[in-house]
Structure 1
Amino acid sequence: MAAAAEARAALRRLLRAIDARLTRVAGNTQWRDYALREFRRGGAKAQRNPAEVQQGLQLARDYAELIDNIHHHRELLRSYNLGLDGDERNKRMVEATARRVGFAMPNEEKPPPRRKGGAAGQGQLHVAAGGQEGAASGEGWQQQQQQQQQQQQQQQQEAALQQQPEPSPQQQQAAPDVGTDGGTPRAAAVG
């Protein structure tokens, strides 16, 4: 009698875990049908070998626990927000912590949208420990704009230098030969 009650309890626990974590999620009853089929097949063995029955019941309990633990592990990983980049994840964790203790994070003003064609890495402000970008007066944004303008000027100068034609061989010969004595021209040796 006790063995039958133990078998029913193990079967119910396994079916609850399968229904909650596998069947309902995927809409597939294959796992449930397999568990029922194995329990029915094990009933015939119960009359022959009780040790085998106990081993099967322990296996059913272990499977139920495994299914529940896998679900718990997945939920834990989702709570870590691993799909987000580090800054966004930290921001969400700080917001969640603030909500838990009854605070609300202030809304941050977003800087104007970046222009296309900027160099890689431009337009990124680093968030200070206090959670504010730049100073309250927008100094960080102004500095960023100045840096972008300087970089654009440098790029334009480099492009202008690359577009200048190289001097012809005749122009190179007409140029004075500069010696090592402070830059005074010296006469070319005629040989």
Structure 2
Amino acid sequence: MDAELFPRERAKVVPGAVHVPDWLDADRQRRLLTACREWALPPAGLRTVRTPGGGTMTARQVCLGWHWYPYAYACVAVDGDGAPVKAFPDWLGELARRAVADALGPAAVPTASYDIALINFYDGDARMGMHRDGDEHADAPVVSLSLGDTCVFRFGNTETRTRPYTDVELRSGDLFVFGGPSRLAFHGVPRVRPGTAPAWLGLSGRLNITLRVSGL
């Protein structure tokens, strides 16, 4: 928003999970959006993810570095067009490391390099059910960046998909990092608020870029 009565402050949601509002400035958001649009093009581009039970995720996805499919990683888009997954750029890994240092402190930055990006696009009535990011072979913090429409991000606990959980409003440019005791916490997106993206960004919908260390 252009005018905030009370400026948003960074917040530790639970131990190991931190929300940093407005971490990406307007120029960085535009550049990241341009990159996402290039990555979304085929081959190995934006796809609909189908679950083993026959359902589909309402948020569409493209992967970099390693291709995620329920519930494993591969070198090619095995549930898409079969093309090799796009490369994970070094600059995106450096961005992830800076994000962890800013949110959790330099000691939390992993020695291993970030090498996975899962980029989810939410339009219309897209949602994300409560889940854990548990298919990696490393426990490095997960970095989440938001572009476009505001969403309600539900961050829960490590034992169950139900309460206790905390709902956090994530706007365009926000950073959310979770690691340590919260690395395997359940989380999801119960609601996106259409039409809330900043006009200068030129995006209808929401992009969520999650950066991870594979350990593979």
TM-score, normalised relative to structure 1: 0.18
- Structure having the higher strand fraction is 2
Flag the structure with more relative contact order, 1 or 2, with Cα contacts below 8 A and sequence separation at least 6.
Answer: 2
TM-score, normalised relative to structure 2: 0.16
- Structure having the higher helix fraction is 1
